[in-house]
Amino acid sequence: MKTTKIFGQTVPASTTVNGTAFPITAKFDEDGVVQVSTTNSPTVRIQGRASPEAPWINIVLNAAGDTSTTTAGGYFTLPLFPEMRASVTAGVANAVVDIWMAD
C-alpha cells in the first residue's frame, strides 16, 4: 500500500480550493483509504474521474454511513479512480486541512 499526502493547506474563509489531480496506482485492489484532518469544519469532498478529459465527480465516502462530504477528521474507504483530487470549501473561518490517500 502506498500513502500520499494529496492536500495540505489553509483554505481561506468562504472559498473553495481544488487540490491537484494525482494518479492512482492501484495494483491489487480497487478500494482506497482517505484520512482527513481539519480545523473549523470545512466541507471536504474527494473527487475522481476516469480520464483527464472526463468531468470530476464526487466520490461517496464510506464510514459509519455513506456520505459525499465530511466536515470532521477521520478516515473513509472509497473506490479508486485513475485520477483523484480533494476539493475543500471553508465556512466562515479559515480552515487548515490535511488529507492523505492510501491506495
For residue 41, the 8-state DSSP code is -
- Predicted confidence at residue 63, as pLDDT, reads 67
Give the span between the Cα atoms of 79 and 35, in whole angstroms: 14
pLDDT of residue 58 exceeding 80, the answer is yes
With pLDDT > 90 as the criterion, what percentage of the chain qualifies?
A: 60
SS3 call for 28: coil
Looking up cell 479559515, which residue turns up? 94
First to last CA, the chain: 6
CA distance 52 to 82: 9
pLDDT of residue 62 exceeding 90, the answer is: no
Tell me the domains of the chain and their CATH numbers. Answer: 3-102 (2.60.120.260)
- Mean pLDDT over residues 35-63, rounded? 91
Per-residue pLDDT band at 64 (split at 50, 70, 90): low
